[in-house]
Structure 1
C-alpha cells in the first residue's frame, strides 16, 4: 500500500531507524544460524543473498552493502567454490560477532569489532606526514598513548574523518552496537569517502600494532 499522504510515516508507530536496526539484527541472527555448523554451502549462500536483496536492499548501511556485494561477486559464476565458502564463513563469523574457535553469540558487554569495513588486503603504513584517526577502544591502551606512538614516528593525529586523513584505525575492542548496524560516524564517513574514490585506508588495530612495532 502506498502511503500517499505520509500518514504511515507520520505515525508514532513508525520509526525508520528502529526498523533498520531490527533488520540488521535479523541479519546477524540469520548469519549466526547459517554458520552454526561451521560451514556454509551453495544453497545457504544463495538463500542469504536472496534474503538480503529482498529485505535490506534499501537499508543504507555501508557494512551490510559490503557484505552483499562480496556475496554477489562470489555467486556471479553460479558456483560457490571451497575457497569462497571458507571466505564467506569467516566473513559471516565476523559480521555476527562470533569467534571461529567458539561460534556462539556472546552476551558480553564488549566483543571483537566487525572487520568488514577494513581494507583488504591491508595497506602498507607510511608514518611521516600521514594523518591518522582512531575510533573504538584500543586493546593496546588509552587512545592518547596510541596517538603518541604515531606522532613519535612522524605521523599526524586528526580529530575527525575527512578527505585529508590517510588512515582510520579501528580499535580491536568494539562495542556491542557495532554488531547491530551502528558502526559509529567515523567508520561510516570513512566508508562513504572510500566509496567515492578518496584514498582513505581503514585498518585494524592488529595491523596498526604489527606495523608500529615492526
Structure 2
C-alpha cells in the first residue's frame, strides 16, 4: 500500500528549498517597493513584519532573523517613531540592493575605507554618528551607550562629527547602498584634513566592552 501522506511530505520537503528561494526573492522585491519613496510608515512596517511571519519565519537565516527581530523590537511598543523609521529604511535599502540569489545576503563589511590603524576612541564630549546595521542592536541602543559615557550623537556627516561608526552587518556593494553616501562624505572630509575617523563597529565594541 502506498503511503500517500509520506509521499506528500517528501514532495513538500523536496520543493522547500525552491519555495524558500522564491520567498526570499519576493522579500527583496517587497523591501525595494517599500523603500522606493524614501520613507517607511508604521502600516508598511507592520505589513512587512506580518509577511515575514507568514512566509519566512521558519528559515534559519541570519539576515531574515535580524530584519525580523529589529522589526519586532521597533513595533513592540505599538509605535514606529521617526528614528526607527529612518533606521528601518536604511536596512531595507541595503537588503534590496543585494544581488538576487546570493547565498549570504549580508556579509561582514571588509572593503570599507576605515581608518587604518584604528584610532584611539574616547566618548566624553566626542560626537558620534552611526550608519549601517549594527550587530549590537538597534541604533538607539548604540547611541544610548555613547550618551551614558558622556558622548554626543550627530545628526548627519559634517565637520562636527568625530567618529563615524559603520555597522558590522554591511555588504560589499556599500558604494551603491544607502549608508554609502555617509561614508563617502566622511571620506571626503577626512581627505580634506577634517579630523573625522571612520571606524568599524567591531573596533567600537572592543573599546567599549574590552
TM-score (norm 2): 0.49
Q: Larger C-alpha radius of gyration, 1 or 2?
A: 2
Name the TM-score, length of structure 1 as normaliser.
0.48
